[in-house]
């Protein structure tokens, strides 16, 4: 929920905090991952999934080293490739460190098991200076063993603070659309720096500016919780999330970006709905939702450290992603629609064809 922070007390600092709240793959990715992903997509519906990895992550340490970790029960050996060259080997459960790779906007790793299909991953974060919560929405395993493609969908906070270097990196990702989930006032105060070639889409979840300002931590929590219920019930929100999921299912071009101000609430529900629609389990969806607290930790601390204790206590529930907020959205789905599938079909108007297109576009075998 958007909560303008221009309360009478500490107004200048709170206004600055509100502004602070308001953040696809490079060409090398095409050579290394786009063809394997396309081949996997072509197999959809004709073969059961054969990727043996149950967990896999890449962590870019920003010092030229990377940690690649995986679990692949039943596999005897895994070879890790980067840039088409083998860079590490391991067994069915490993965590390896890779270094000495050429500089790249985003380093992709291909995990090739001795049996079953390979998996291609990168660090989820884009490590942007002006948008620390800018990250890949994919790279998660579904409950039935598929994987959500990476390099296709990105989630973020506002883009107004992007540096020129950030923007240059995004320009090379081939983003086709920038879905701005913010209200008019937020967009006016902090207009996006739109990646080159991207279509800018106003997708106002709230349906206009919200003027409620919390004066206590308890009221802040109540307002945030109510806002998360609105994401499920409000006409403007359902229209936006329906159009976003339909756009995500369009395979014509790659790389779609969606964001709000902090990249955790309106954006958080967008990712939660998308991942759930794709079959990702609730625990993983929750982990992705709460990860905003990690990516935004330094930014949040800098904001709160400027405030008197009372104002910091009021603002902290607004700045953080909380499990209760996500639960409020899911609880509202159950209350209004009974099941998540019914929410997708009746609430968002997605029929069998639309849901099949979404899964075909975004899932690997």
Domain ranges of the chain: 11-23+128-364, 51-125
pTM of this prediction? 0.87
Q: CA–CA separation, 362 vs 365, rounded Å?
A: 10
* Residue range 186-204: mean pLDDT, rounded: 96
DSSP 3-state of 157: coil
Q: CA–CA separation, 198 vs 196, rounded Å?
A: 6
Write down the mean pLDDT value for the chain. 88
Lowest mean pLDDT among 104-113, 244-253, 265-274: 244-253
* Residue range 248-252: mean pLDDT, rounded: 81
The 10s digit of each residue's pLDDT in 251-264 is 666 689 999 999 99
The 10s digit of each residue's pLDDT in 319-353 is 999 999 999 999 999 999 999 999 999 999 999 99
The 10s digit of each residue's pLDDT in 82-106 is 999 999 999 999 999 999 999 999 9
pLDDT on residue 40: 34
| Cα four-point dihedral sign 280, 281, 283, 286 | positive
Q: Please name the residues in contact with 194: beta carbons below 8 A apart, sequence gap of 6 or more.
A: 159, 178, 200
* Residue range 133-143: mean pLDDT, rounded: 97
pLDDT on residue 316: 97
Lowest mean pLDDT among 35-39, 268-272, 305-309, 337-341: 35-39
Q: How confident is the model at residue 8 (pLDDT cuts 50, 70, 90)?
A: very low
Is 260 known to be catalytic?
A: yes
Out of 260, 274, 277, 315, the active site residue is 260
**Residues 175 and 257: beta-carbon distance below 8 Å:** yes
Does residue 199 surpass a pLDDT of 90?
yes
* Residue range 13-40: mean pLDDT, rounded: 34
Lowest mean pLDDT among 27-31, 59-63, 137-141, 336-340: 27-31
Which of 44-48, 203-207, 210-214 has maximum average pLDDT?
203-207
- In percent, the amount of the chain with pLDDT more than 70 equals 85
Q: How confident is the model at residue 212 (pLDDT cuts 50, 70, 90)?
A: confident
**Residues 278 and 360: beta-carbon distance below 8 Å:** no
> Is beta strand 153-156 parallel, antiparallel or unpaired with respect to 199-202?
unpaired
Its CATH architecture, for the domain 11-23+128-364, is: Alpha-Beta Complex (3.90)
The 10s digit of each residue's pLDDT in 285-300 is 999 999 999 999 999 9
Q: Please name the residues in contact with 119: beta carbons below 8 A apart, sequence gap of 6 or more.
A: 51, 53, 56, 70, 110, 111, 147, 364
DSSP 3-state of 332: helix
pLDDT on residue 157: 97
pLDDT on residue 253: 61
Its CATH architecture, for the domain 51-125, is: Sandwich (2.60)
Q: Do domains 11-23+128-364 and 51-125 have the same CATH topology?
A: no
Nearest to 315 by CA among 227, 211, 224, 181: 224
Does residue 18 surpass a pLDDT of 60?
no
**Residues 199 and 176: beta-carbon distance below 8 Å:** yes
Does residue 150 surpass a pLDDT of 80?
yes
């Amino acid at each position: 929920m958007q909560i303008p922070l221009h309360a009478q007390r500490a107004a200048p600092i709170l206004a600055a905090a509100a502004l602070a709240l308001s953040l696809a793959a490079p060409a090398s990715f095409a050579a290394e991952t786009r063809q394997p992903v396309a081949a996997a997509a072509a197999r959809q519906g004709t073969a059961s999934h054969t990727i043996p990895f149950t967990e896999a992550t890449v962590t870019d340490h920003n010092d030229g080293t990377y940690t690649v970790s995986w679990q692949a029960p039943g596999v005897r050996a895994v070879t890790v490739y980067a840039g088409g060259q083998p860079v590490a080997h391991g067994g069915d459960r490993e965590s390896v460190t890779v270094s000495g790779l050429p500089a790249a906007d985003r380093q992709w790793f291909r995990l090739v098991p001795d049996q079953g299909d390979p998996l291609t991953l990168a660090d989820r974060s884009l490590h942007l200076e002006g948008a620390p919560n800018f990250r890949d929405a994919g790279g998660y395993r579904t409950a039935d063993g598929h994987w959500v493609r990476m390099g296709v969908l990105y989630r973020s906070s506002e883009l107004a603070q992007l540096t020129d270097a950030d923007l240059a990196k995004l320009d090379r990702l081939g983003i086709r659309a920038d879905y701005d989930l913010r209200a008019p006032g937020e967009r006016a105060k902090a207009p996006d720096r739109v990646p080159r070639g991207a279509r800018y889409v106003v997708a106002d979840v709230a349906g206009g500016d919200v003027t409620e300002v919390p004066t206590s931590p308890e009221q802040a929590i109540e307002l945030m919780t109510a806002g998360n219920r609105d994401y499920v019930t409000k006409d403007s929100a359902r229209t936006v999330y329906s159009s976003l999921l339909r756009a995500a299912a369009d395979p014509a071009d790659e790389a779609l970006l969606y964001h709000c101000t902090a990249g955790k609430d309106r954006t958080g529900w967008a990712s939660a709905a998308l991942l759930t629609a794709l079959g990702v389990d609730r625990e993983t969806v929750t982990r992705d939702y709460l990860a905003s607290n990690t990516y935004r930790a330094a930014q949040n601390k800098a904001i709160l450290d400027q405030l008197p204790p009372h104002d910091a206590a009021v603002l902290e529930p607004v700045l953080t992603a909380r499990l209760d907020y996500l639960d409020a959205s899911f609880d509202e789905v159950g209350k209004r629609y009974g099941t998540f599938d019914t929410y997708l079909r009746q609430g968002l108007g997605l029929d069998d064809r639309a849901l099949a297109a979404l899964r075909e576009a975004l899932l690997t075998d």
